[in-house]
Amino acid sequence: MLAMNYRGPLRVRIDDKPMPEILHPQDAIVRVTRSCICGSDLHLYNGSVPDTRVGMTFGHEFTGFVEQVGEEVQKLRVGDHVLVPFNIACGKCVFCEQELYGNCHESNPEATAVGGIFGYSHTAGGYDGGQAEYVRVPYADVGPTVIPQGMDPDDAVLLTDVVPTGYQAAEMGGIQPGDTVVVFGAGPVGIMAARCAWLFGAGRVIVIDHVDYRLEFVKNYAPCEAYNFRSLEDPVVFIKRTTGWLGADVCIDAVGAEAAGSAMQTLLGRKLLMQGGSATALHWAINSVKKGGIVSIVGVYGPIDTLVPIGNVVNKGLTLRANQASVKRLLPRLIQHVQNGVLNPKALITHRVPLEYVSDAYRIFSAKLDGCIKPVLLPPSARS
């Protein structure tokens, strides 16, 4: 079968790889119909996530048809068209039982700090991902959800990560009616976080980024105020000034390890890999929020230490909230929001690329070429 194959930082290609097999009685094999490249895939692509092995297939946002099921699978049937949450969750451990499906303890032997994630290095369990024609899906009765009749598969594939992560970013902000919410990052997750902030009653939503075409998009899509930090002398001072000099009620870091905007953070976090990423967005979030405010973090960072102004967190009395999105917990509500037309995820998709051109798709997304916001890969069988 065709599958994306990681060859080293910035190098990926399409290769023939063996078909996945049922390795556990709760496994399913899924024939992929849509597979996105996620902003967090770029951390792998850039070589900044430890234990990312050459030969691995990435991809944690995908939909597909169930081709085969293990003997213990009861809820799924061969032929079901499913959307598959990016978290691999057993549904049995004490964390899954408390709906922390992103923190499962029975899906990742290599690290205890993160649950299993499809195609996201051995630090997240060593699973090959969905940027392929077929993929093995463990715990098939827990995560995969049959795509409701009438739902556009482009909407469905964004319900595997982008929508729940953006929604949970806003949810973790504890937004109260009238709150000013600042989202750092106008990538797909930041765009969705800005959109969802309104659902919690925000009074004002501001997005900060440095890519003009994305700022233009989010300004219309969310809708919100959108500013390019390169045109601001100091984004923190700007936020203070525009919020009556006290700061935002809620700040959301929707960027993570690849943040631009600080030469020192870029050097230490992105070039020298001496910290778990460039924490510029988080730094600004901590310093832009008001005293007693809340900082919500969904941007992904590596597992090693990262420089952030933790003293300001203490002195300002901030609440930090963070997690990988618990996709399964949020799906029922979010499916409803999509079906009711409250959320329109597919509008984020700007590029539909044949799986065979995966190297170009990564380059376009990574370098923000051709107005790219969200690329989706289409395997040959999904194009016929």
Partner 1 sequence: MEQTAIDPSQVKGWGIDADVRNDPTYPIKRRNNGEHAGYSWVRPSQQPISVEILHSNERPNVSATFGTSTPPAGLSGVFRRIAFRYSESSYGHWLPLMLADRIGVMEGVLGDLVRGHVPNFFGELGWKAEWQHNRKSLMGRILFGALMIAALTGYFRGRRE
Q: Which is nearer to partner 1, 56 or 83 (CB)?
A: 56
Q: Does 40 bind partner 1 (CB under 8 A)?
A: no
What is the Cα gyration radius of the chain? Answer: 20
Q: Alpha carbon 231 to chain centroid distance? A: 27
Q: Which listed range, 49-57, 210-218, 255-263, 280-288, lies at the site for partner 1 (CB under 8 A)?
A: 49-57
Q: Does 56 bind partner 1 (CB under 8 A)?
A: yes
Residue that the structure tokens 């990435």 belong to: 58
Tokens of 60: 């944690």
Residue 323: closest CA among 297, 294, 285: 297
* Kind of pairing between the strands at 2-8 and 11-16: antiparallel
Q: Does 278 bind partner 1 (CB under 8 A)?
A: no
Work out how close the CB of 178 gets to partner 1 at its nearest, in angstroms, rounded to a whole number: 20
DSSP 96-117: HHTT-GGG-SSS-SS-SSS-EE
Dihedral angle computed from the Cα positions of residues 370, 375, 380 and 382, in that order, rounded to the nearest 10 degrees: -130
Figure out which of the listed residues 41, 154, 161, 171 binds partner 1, where binding follows CB under 8 A.
171
Q: Which is nearer to partner 1, 55 or 201 (CB)?
A: 55
Residue 316: closest CA among 296, 290, 341: 290
Q: Does 43 bind partner 1 (CB under 8 A)?
A: no
Work out how close the CB of 293 gets to partner 1 at its nearest, in angstroms, rounded to a whole number: 13
Tokens of 126: 């060593």
| x-marked contacts with partner 1 along 323-362 as a string, rule CB under 8 A | x--x--------------------------------xxxx
β-sheet bridge partners, residue 184: 208, 253
8 A C-beta contact, residue 334 and residue 309: no
Q: Which is nearer to partner 1, 96 or 208 (CB)?
A: 96
Figure out which of the listed residues 33, 35, 107, 288 binds partner 1, where binding follows CB under 8 A.
107
Q: Which is nearer to partner 1, 132 or 224 (CB)?
A: 132
Q: Which listed range, 78-86, 97-105, 200-208, 338-346, lies at the site for partner 1 (CB under 8 A)?
A: 97-105
Q: Which listed range, 22-30, 197-205, 226-234, 260-268, lies at the site for partner 1 (CB under 8 A)?
A: 22-30
Q: Does 212 bind partner 1 (CB under 8 A)?
A: no
Contacts of 38 (CB under 8 A, 6+ apart): 60, 61, 86, 161, 162, 188
Q: Which is nearer to partner 1, 265 or 296 (CB)?
A: 296
Amino acid at 69: V
Size of the site for partner 1 (CB under 8 A): 69
Q: How many CB atoms within 10 Å of residue 281?
A: 32
Q: Which is nearer to partner 1, 260 or 273 (CB)?
A: 273
Q: Does 51 bind partner 1 (CB under 8 A)?
A: yes
Figure out which of the listed residues 19, 75, 98, 212 binds partner 1, where binding follows CB under 8 A.
98
| x-marked contacts with partner 1 along 284-323 as a string, rule CB under 8 A | -------------------xx--------------x-x-x
9: preceding bond cis by omega (within 30 degrees): no
Cβ burial 63-93 (10 Å sphere, 16+ → b, else e): bbbbebbbeebeebeeebbbbbbbbbbbeeb
**Residue numbers at the binding site for partner 1 (CB under 8 A):** 7-13, 23-27, 47, 50-57, 72, 88, 90, 92-94, 97-100, 105-113, 116, 122-123, 125-128, 138-139, 168, 171-172, 273, 303-304, 319, 321, 323, 326, 359-364, 366-367, 369-370
